[in-house]
A and B are shown apart, each in its own frame.
Chain A
Amino acid sequence: MQERLQDESYKSGKRVLLNGNQAVAEAVKIAEPDVIAAYPITPQTPVVEKLAEFVAEGVLNSEFVNVESEYSALSVVYGAALTGARVFTATSSHGLAYMYEMCWWVAGSRVPLVMALPTRSIGAPWNIHSDHSDVMILKDVGWIISMAENAQECFDLTLIGFPISEELNIPYSVSYDAFMVSHTAEVVEVRDVELPKRKQAYKILPNSEFALNAVTVNDARHKARKTLMKDLENSRRKIEKIGRCFLGEDFSLAEKYRVEDADYVIVTYGGWSGDFKDVVDEMRDEGVKIGLLKLRFLRPLPEEELKEISGDVLVVDRSALYKFGGMGGEIKRIIPEAKNVIAALGGYEIGYSEIKALVRRFVSGKIGEVEWYP
């Protein structure tokens, strides 16, 4: 198996066995950030360990800053980004919550940066396993948010994060499920590409008499937020253009899987999309016209693809907001009849047969507006 994979390694880059975290680190290596800062948290730790190794081995020429907290991790890369440096950080769960103030500050400052966010539950009680509670608190801050399904997408979505963030002057996060993706090894094509040099809207330099983010009154803050949110809403074309340039022509914000003639469409994102696709295949074999729409980006939301759906819709979330799952409520804004399931928080194991049973219940019209599973 390994030999056959090695044989195939060649056309564009090489194929290697990597888990999600390692795939992120390989992509960061290509981007060559000037400054990396991070604080360890499960399941993110292997990303920064790998990057620290690269720096120690001399294959990555970055300033690597071992900070004392996640709050400082984002603060350090924010400061470095202001000077014109390309930067990277990574965190998860409580780490994201701890750096939350800076998440807003970075977005409001329109500073490009990339952050990996393996998704993990937020306590209490303690839980280190996957759900999407953490990424949901970042969702409406004003970041571009991508969700990887597997190690390959971890690599791809991290790689394009740098030029996308630098083109739009909006911070960028790449999320992927704890353990299921972060620690699961898969064959990844490490693309042999070069990224364009860092660019950004402004830099802070000495002797400039420039005051950044001073106190505002009247409409200044309103305008700043409005511009950011509008730019984020309208970022789709630029993201797709950059994505296609590095990842191929079929790249888009959402993956349409057998949706063309579907009477039923499941909307998913993240690691378990693969399981749901298998269920779709099996049920297609049985003659059920079912498909799946996988959101590769939560911000900007792939609204065009959602609007194209004609069949019954089930949104499967792995986080709970008030009354709805993380995306269920807002997808109902686009598809009012959409059903929503909040499933498997805190790494609760949901196997293929359970997923299939859930989808069967949906197809037979037995799922209510919003349901918890279990």
Chain B
Amino acid sequence: MILPGNASCHGCPITIAMKTLDEIENPVVLMPASCSTVIAGIHPNSALKLTVVHVPFPSTPSVAAGMSRGYRKLGIKANVIAWMGDGAADISFTALKAIAERNEDVMVVIVDNEAFMNTGNQSSSSTPKYAKTTTDPAGKRENRRSVSLSLINYGYVATASVGYVKDLRRKMRKAGEKDGFRLLHVHCPCPPGWKFEAGLTVEIARLAVQSLFWILWEKDNKLRISEISKKAYENRIPAEKYIKLQGRFKGIKREEIEELEKFAVEEFERLLKLEEIL
């Protein structure tokens, strides 16, 4: 799927996610301006062994919907994938919600590295509170908000992590086999953006899940929190272990870590309640 010698940074989580695209049949991948665009390479070369369509930032969901409608009308079998970062999910949110609402036959993959990383680490709605970015040099003041949770009522929606590739592959395959609107929200810890050693990407991703800072769940006909996350809730590791490895939280106070920990646990418990009714 992705050729060696591409332009990704050392330890890039997005390339891990890109490899799992081989679970999809007849993929056509759309990319807005993002780290993925850079990884995909410079014209006339391409680092991706896929059909790739590069599009303007906010247009991704709608161009994907148009391509999907076109293929359907012309009887061409294709799996249209709107592949975007958390920044593109922010700027295209109206369109994203609209294609979900129209149940367009589009698979959305959000590779979430919790900031606008392509332009050098600016805050997005996905950036966690207290994390320092170039636009929040003193640390972000608002809690992160989950885009997948806000679209939980539409089609197949799941979260995944590059720390749990088997789970990611299963969800990628499952989403690829379905029709209609699908959303896969993939947690992608970013070494240069979050300021940790490039060799730690998978470990940080796992720590995020084990500390409940990232929750693995899947909403098909019914919402189900993945066993990995349920076990993590039973044997939760302290937030500090996850946070202290990341330079973006440098200087964070003890009570601030406790606040983030409380937020993470509460979010998990809210999801547990949601599991009973959804």
Contacts and interface: CB of A to CB of B under 8 A. Distances in A.
Interface string B50-87: 11111110110111111111111110111100000000
Contact of B55 (A80, A210, A213): A213
Contact of A213 (B38, B54, B62, B68): B54
Contact of B70 (A34, A66, A208, A217): A34
A80 B65 CA distance: 8
A66 B69 contact: no
A208 B65 CA distance: 20
Contacts of B172: none
Interface residues of A, number: 41
Nearest to B67: A79
Contacts of B78: 83, 205-206
Interface stretch (A22-30, A67-75, A281-289): A67-75
A251 to B, nearest CB: 31
Interface string A206-235: 111111111111001000000000000000
Interface in B133-186: none
A78 B65 CA distance: 10
B41 A211 contact: yes
Interface string A81-122: 111110100000000000001100100000000000000000
B66 A76 contact: yes
Contacts of A87: 66, 70
A254 interface: no
A9 B66 CA distance: 39
Interface in B2-61: 26-28, 30, 37-38, 40-46, 48-56, 58-59, 61
A69 B62 CA distance: 10
Contacts of A204: 28, 51, 53, 67
B54 A211 contact: yes
B40 A214 contact: yes
A212 B54 contact: yes
Contacts of B102: 65-66
A114 B72 CA distance: 21
B69 A105 contact: no
Contact of B66 (A79, A208, A215): A79
A343 interface: no
Nearest to B59: A75
A300 B28 CA distance: 35
Given A75-B66, A79-B66, A84-B70, A214 B98 contact: no
Interface of A is mostly: mixed
Contact of A72 (B40, B76, B98): B98
A342 interface: no
B52 A105 contact: no
A37 interface: yes
A206 B95 contact: no
B43 A211 contact: yes
A4 to B, nearest CB: 42
B65 A76 contact: yes
A280 interface: no
A69 B95 CA distance: 8
B70 A211 contact: no
Contacts of A101: 56, 58-59
Interface string A256-288: 000000000000000000000000000000000
A77 interface: yes
Contact of A81 (B26, B28, B70): B70
Given A66-B102, A67-B62, A213-B54, A80 B42 contact: no
A76 B28 contact: no
Contacts of B53: 79, 82, 204, 211-213
Interface string A16-49: 0000000000000000001101000000000000
A349 interface: no
Contacts of B49: 209
A52 B65 CA distance: 18
A214 B42 contact: yes
Contacts of A65: 65-66, 69, 102
Interface of A: 34-35, 37, 63, 65-69, 71-72, 75-85, 87, 101-102, 105, 204-217, 220
Interface of B: 26-28, 30, 37-38, 40-46, 48-56, 58-59, 61-74, 76-79, 94-95, 97-98, 102
Given A35-B73, A83-B78, A211-B53, 14 more contacts: A35-B69, A35-B70, A68-B95, A71-B95, A75-B95, A79-B64, A79-B67, A79-B70, A84-B70, A205-B28, A206-B78, A211-B41, A214-B54, A215-B41
19 contacts: A35-B69, A37-B66, A63-B72, A67-B98, A72-B59, A79-B30, A80-B67, A82-B63, A82-B70, A83-B74, A87-B70, A101-B59, A205-B51, A207-B26, A209-B48, A211-B52, A213-B55, A214-B37, A220-B44
